[in-house]
Structure formats: structure tokens, C-alpha cells
Amino acid sequence: MKKVLVVDDASTVRMYHKKILGDAGFNVDEAVNGLEALEKAYINNYDLYIVDINMPKLDGYSFVRKLRSSKNLNQAPVIMVTTEAEEKDKNLAYQAGANFYMVKPVKPEELVMYAKIFTGVTS
């Protein structure tokens, strides 16, 4: 079972993504900000990160940059899921090291489809 870390400061968003991905067969963990996510990333081996941009303590861009600069953590794909819909935000996400960018609210079937693509789940 593929492990996903959902990183978002809004509990409703975390619950929503956890339910969607959990129902699709993923093992889902959550973090309330980039700092907590980084701590969890060092302890657990995640197959995918679903990351918001605007969070306290450590935002999504900074989290992804730190993830990519860590020798042991830099391989897992990152999907940024955010309310920021401007091209500059998308460009910043890709520059930080994100693999894909989605604007909230995401359609459940799209989130599942991209999660499967990025984790190599074929069913």
C-alpha cells in the first residue's frame, strides 16, 4: 500500500484529501504545516506528498525545497494542491521542485488519478 502525506493547515482539507485517497487504497498520513511534514518525512518513507502552499511555520514552497535538498528524501513526488491559481505561483512550485500543480477545490477522481500516476499504482 502506497503511503501519502497530506500537508495542509486546514483540517477540513486534510480530512477531505485523506478520505478521497484512503478510499482509493492509499495509506494516508497528515501534517498541519511544512515543519511537521519535514519531521514526519524523516521518520516515514512516503511515496507521495500532497502539499498546500500557504501554511504557518514552513510554507509549501520551502517544504518542497528542503525535501529536494535532502539526500534521503528528494525522490518522492510532490503534488501542490492550493488556492493559488496564478501562473507565477505554479512556476514557483515547479522551481521549488514540485512534480505537479492543482488548484483547489480538486475533483476527487483527478486527485486519485494523479496520485496513482505519481506512485505507479496501475489498478
Structural domain includes residue 123: no
For 55, the domain range is 3-118
Structural domain includes residue 50: yes
Question: 1-22: per-residue pLDDT in tens?
Answer: 999 999 999 999 999 999 999 9
pLDDT at 119: 97
The count of domains in the chain is: 1
Structural domain includes residue 34: yes
Structural domain includes residue 59: yes
pLDDT at 73: 74
Q: How confident is the model at residue 122 (pLDDT cuts 50, 70, 90)?
A: confident
Question: 29-72: per-residue pLDDT in tens?
Answer: 999 999 999 999 999 999 999 999 999 999 999 999 999 998 87
C-alpha–C-alpha distance, residues 64 and 52, integer Å: 10
CB neighbours of residue 101 within 10 Å: 19
Structural domain includes residue 83: yes
pTM for the structure as a whole: 0.96
Residue appearing with cell numbers 522551481 = 95
Q: What is the CATH number of the domain that holds 33?
A: 3.40.50.2300
pLDDT at 51: 98
Question: 72-105: per-residue pLDDT in tens?
Answer: 777 899 999 999 999 999 999 999 999 999 999 9
